[in-house]
């Protein structure tokens, strides 16, 4: 875990939700199968699903030989088996082999379009399964999924519904939806009750906020972050936008009292801020910044 605060003490204090136990490969496989089945059911006409239901009834009646009662649960389970046959979904051993190769690839930054010099990379390698990560801005989806591939519980927050829905779709296609949630929130008005070990911020996602709103949002995240926690202000290149009205250096003044590590390339390479041990979780002086 990145933070120096014991997880048990933080949980009892109501700082964060109870950490879920790491999922087994069998659980991930079952989740993969369910997702594929639901995708199929959501894309075919209702008439086609009714035909599959009739087929399931015929097969069950032929095999049952009146030895047991045909129940709705039994019928639904057999419908899923028929769909799985049609989709040629892999068995667990076949899926496990491919899944391991996919996860190894996803833990390489190049899979997401950035290199090992990216500031998020060294922190991903220090995460432990179940660590809480917050990513501000759907423009940092690559970074969010990269962290999810390291078994963190990642929450991607953005104000745009379309961007959030696209992020959820990408997570499903990458088989990372189990440890990834994308939420639509109005920055500055509400925030999920989380205490993150790591926060990654796409500076461009805050460009529409007033100065005081940005300062308040960052201060809220700082309070929620336990001592030893890390905030990474991402470089503009990670946002894939031609025009970035708000650079990472604009946010640096909000991290007075934190240990700041600047990017090595240019001023706009982003920076990393580490919360000092035993720092009181109070609002930062940066809240007094005027518009």
Give the CATH number of the domain where residue 216 resides: 3.40.50.150
8 domain-assigned: no
Residue 213, C-beta contacts closer than 8 angstroms, at least 6 positions apart: 187, 188
Q: Is the per-residue pLDDT at 243 higher than 70?
A: no
Task: Give me the pLDDT at residue 291, please.
Answer: 37
User: What order do you get walking across the sheet with 230-233 strand by strand?
Assistant: 180-184, 153-158, 132-136, 198-201, 230-233, 271-274, 259-262
Task: Give me the pLDDT at residue 9, please.
Answer: 35
Task: Give me the pLDDT at residue 22, please.
Answer: 60
Q: Are 142 and 167 members of one domain? A: yes
Task: Give me the pLDDT at residue 75, please.
Answer: 84
Distance CA 150, CA 139 (A): 19
Task: Give me the pLDDT at residue 289, please.
Answer: 34
36 vs 258, higher pLDDT: 258
Looking at 34-38, 66-70, 84-88, which range is the least confident one?
Answer: 66-70
Domain boundary among 93, 123, 143: 93
Distance CA 180, CA 35 (A): 14
Distance CA 276, CA 283 (A): 14
Domain boundary among 93, 121, 148: 93
Mean pLDDT of 5-9: 36
Q: Are 65 and 202 members of one domain? A: no
Distance CA 9, CA 15 (A): 9
190 domain-assigned: yes
Q: Are 89 and 118 members of one domain? A: no
The number of folded domains in the chain is: 2
Q: Are 205 and 88 members of one domain? A: no
31, containing H or E segment: helix 25-43
Q: Are 183 and 267 members of one domain? A: yes
pTM for the full predicted model = 0.70
Mean pLDDT of 58-73: 71
Task: Give me the pLDDT at residue 1, please.
Answer: 62
Q: Are 176 and 280 members of one domain? A: yes
**Tens of pLDDT along 165-187?**
999 989 988 989 888 999 999 88
Cβ proximity of 273 and 260 under 8 Å = yes
**Nearest-CA neighbor of 187 among 215, 222, 154?**
215
Q: Are 116 and 172 members of one domain? A: yes
Q: Is the per-residue pLDDT at 212 higher than 60?
A: yes
133 falls in which pLDDT band (50, 70, 90)? Answer: very high
Mean pLDDT of 61-84: 77
Q: How far apart are the first and last CA of the chain?
A: 37
Q: Are 150 and 241 members of one domain? A: yes
Task: State the residue range of the domain holding 193.
Answer: 107-288
């Amino acid at each position: 875990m990145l933070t120096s605060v014991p997880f048990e003490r933080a949980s009892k204090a109501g700082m964060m939700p109870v950490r879920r136990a790491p999922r087994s490969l069998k659980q991930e496989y079952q989740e993969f199968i369910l997702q594929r089945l639901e995708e199929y059911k959501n894309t075919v006409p209702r008439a086609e699903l009714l035909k599959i239901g009739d087929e399931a009834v015929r097969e069950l009646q032929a095999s049952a030989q009146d030895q047991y009662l045909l129940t709705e649960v039994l019928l639904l389970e057999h419908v899923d088996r028929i769909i799985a046959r049609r989709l040629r979904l892999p068995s667990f051993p076949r899926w496990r082999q491919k899944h391991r190769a996919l996860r190894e690839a996803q833990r390489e930054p190049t899979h997401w379009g950035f290199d090992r010099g990216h500031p998020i990379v060294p922190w991903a390698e220090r995460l432990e399964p179940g660590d809480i990560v917050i990513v501000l801005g759907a423009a940092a989806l690559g970074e969010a999924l990269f962290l999810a591939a390291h078994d963190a519980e990642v929450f991607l927050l953005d104000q745009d519904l379309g961007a959030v829905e696209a992020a959820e779709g990408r997570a499903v296609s990458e088989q990372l939806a189990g440890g990834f949630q994308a939420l639509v929130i109005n920055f500055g008005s509400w925030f999920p009750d989380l205490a993150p070990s790591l926060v990654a911020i796409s500076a461009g996602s805050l460009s529409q906020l007033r100065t005081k709103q940005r300062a308040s949002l960052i201060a809220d995240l700082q309070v929620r972050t336990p001592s030893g926690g890390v905030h990474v202000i991402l470089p503009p290149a990670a946002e894939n936008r031609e025009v970035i009205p708000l650079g990472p250096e604009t946010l640096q003044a909000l991290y007075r009292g934190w240990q700041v590590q600047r990017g090595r390339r240019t001023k706009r390479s982003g920076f990393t801020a580490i919360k000092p041990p035993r720092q009181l979780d109070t609002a930062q002086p940066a809240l007094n910044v005027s518009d």
